[in-house]
Amino acid sequence: MTGSDKVDVAIIGGGTAGCAAALELRRRGLSVALFERRTVGSQASGVNYGGVRQQGRDPAELPLSRRSRPIWDRLPALVGHDCEFMATGHLKLAYTPEQMAELEAWSAMAAEQGVETRLMGANALAEAYPGLITNAYGGSLCPTDGQANPRLVAPAFARAARRAGAAIHEHEAVTGATRDAAGFRIETERGTRILAQSLINVAGAWADHVARWFGEFAPIQVLAPNMLVSEPVPYRLPVNIGVCGAGLYVRQIPRGNLIFGGGKGWADREAIRARPLVEVSCQASAQLARTLPWAANAAVIRSWTGIEGYFDDDIPVIGLSETTPGLVHAFGFSGHGFQLGPAIGEIVSELVVEGKTTTPIDAFSIRRFARAGHQAA
């Protein structure tokens, strides 16, 4: 794209949320231009663990997560690819009575919101997963949760959006945006100028820059999930596992590879560089060997990371701008946005088209940082 152009909606950021929004807006008949500085899904959406999980979420996030969950089943029809999604269930393990009490409390809360879990004691675990899990005090299984291949999801949404007529611009960073009476004037590093009626800010770990262009403050920080994968070993682990307290998470795909992580790698968001840290990889391996002793002899073949944005209160910003009509934010998913991405695409589309959404999002308003922003300024 060169010169000047007009669209109904411009989207900054090619993660799953942005690509899903592009597809949804096209389905609603709006013209869309999405700008991604690298390739779609190359940061948080593409480098994460691949957990498709409702379990353990902040109560405020659960409605988003519930809304997203059925979309994962519909991916083949929606985007033409299953993205290797499998509803394997998610099992959270407790090692102390206190941790078990937390799982029980969450389970009761989730049940009120319609998410069913099965609480299991040590005996039930041993019966359900013989020889797999040792020393756990108990656990909570959310059978409707699962896992998917993160590398495939945002690109699949992007291809579907393209087929539906969206303009998806990769390797084209947005360098600035302003709003006047005519709409949002957006400029890219390639000199593209575009006029959009609405603007969606789904720029992940860089979204606070976009917010600042419109006088809004979001104290985003950078997180790099430290991920590892083993060589294929016989398929034994039929469920996605999280460990209370330790921060370890592990799943096995049917081809046999164990995918696991925990802790944070190194990231520099200005240089757009990130790498796993050896020390953290070793810690995660030690946790894996303690949690699943049978996995200790598997050889690790690769480690990786990427850049995610997070907030101290561990929930994202989602909602209409407080300063600028037509601007919608959704970013800072704090390390657990992968499962939410497809629903976020729908929600931001509703916000653009209708100015509201059927899913409760009040807790995620950027307003919650306004006071801190004044102090920072």
Partner 1 sequence: MPERIIIVGAGPAGTRAARILAEAGLATVLLDEAAGNGGQIYRRQPPGFRRPYAALYGTEAGKAERLHAALDGFGGLIDHRTDTLVWSLDGRRLMLNTAGRADSLDFDRLILATGAMDRVIPLPGWTLPGVFALGGAQVALKHQACAVGAKTCFVGSSPLLPYVAYQYARAGAGVAGVVDTTPRSAKLGALPDLLAVPGVTARGLTYMAWLARHGIRYWHGATPLRVEGGEHVTALVFRTAGGAERRIDCDAVALGYGLKCEHQLADLAGCAFRFDSPTRQWVVAQDDAGRTSVDGLYVAGDGALIRGADAAELAGERAALALLADLGRPVDAARVAQIGRHLARIDRQRRGMDKAFAYPNHLAQSLADDVILCRCEAVTVGEVRRAVTEQGADDINRAKAFCRVGMGRCQGRVCGPAAADVVAAALGRPIEAAGRLRGQAPVKPVPVAVLAQAELGETQSA
Give the residues lining the site for partner 1 (CB under 8 A).
39, 46, 151-152, 155, 159, 170, 230-231, 276-279, 281-283, 285-286, 288-289, 295-304
Nearer to partner 1 by Cβ, of 192 and 257: the residue is 257
**Interatomic CA distance for residues 198 and 184, integer angstroms:** 7
Shortest gap between Cβ of 261 and partner 1 (angstroms)? 13
Cβ burial, residue 41 (10 Å; 0-12/13-18/19+): buried
Shortest gap between Cβ of 107 and partner 1 (angstroms)? 31
30 residue type, one letter: L
Shortest gap between Cβ of 281 and partner 1 (angstroms)? 6
**Interatomic CA distance for residues 268 and 261, integer angstroms:** 20
Nearer to partner 1 by Cβ, of 121 and 165: the residue is 165
**Interatomic CA distance for residues 55 and 374, integer angstroms:** 35
Contact 243, 90 (CB under 8 A): no
Nearer to partner 1 by Cβ, of 4 and 135: the residue is 135
- β-pairing, 193-201 with 183-188? antiparallel
Shortest gap between Cβ of 291 and partner 1 (angstroms)? 11
Nearer to partner 1 by Cβ, of 242 and 262: the residue is 262
Nearer to partner 1 by Cβ, of 250 and 315: the residue is 250
Shortest gap between Cβ of 108 and partner 1 (angstroms)? 36
Query: Which residue reads 């657990």 in tokens?
Result: 336
Nearer to partner 1 by Cβ, of 202 and 295: the residue is 295
Shortest gap between Cβ of 304 and partner 1 (angstroms)? 6
Nearer to partner 1 by Cβ, of 55 and 257: the residue is 257
**Interatomic CA distance for residues 69 and 52, integer angstroms:** 8
**Interatomic CA distance for residues 162 and 132, integer angstroms:** 44
| b/e burial code for range 75-114 (CB count within 10 A of at least 16 → b) | beebbebbbbbbbbbbbbbbbeeebbebbeebbeebeeee
Residues whose CB falls within 8 Å of the CB of residue 101, separated by 6 or more in sequence, listed in order: none
Shortest gap between Cβ of 74 and partner 1 (angstroms)? 20
Nearer to partner 1 by Cβ, of 155 and 341: the residue is 155
Separation in Å, CA 351 to CA 9, 90, 366: 12, 31, 15
Separation in Å, CA 297 to CA 129, 225, 289, 300: 19, 23, 9, 9
If residue 70 lies in a helix (H) or strand (E), which one and from where to where?
A: helix 62-73
- β-pairing, 118-121 with 138-142? antiparallel
Shortest gap between Cβ of 119 and partner 1 (angstroms)? 29
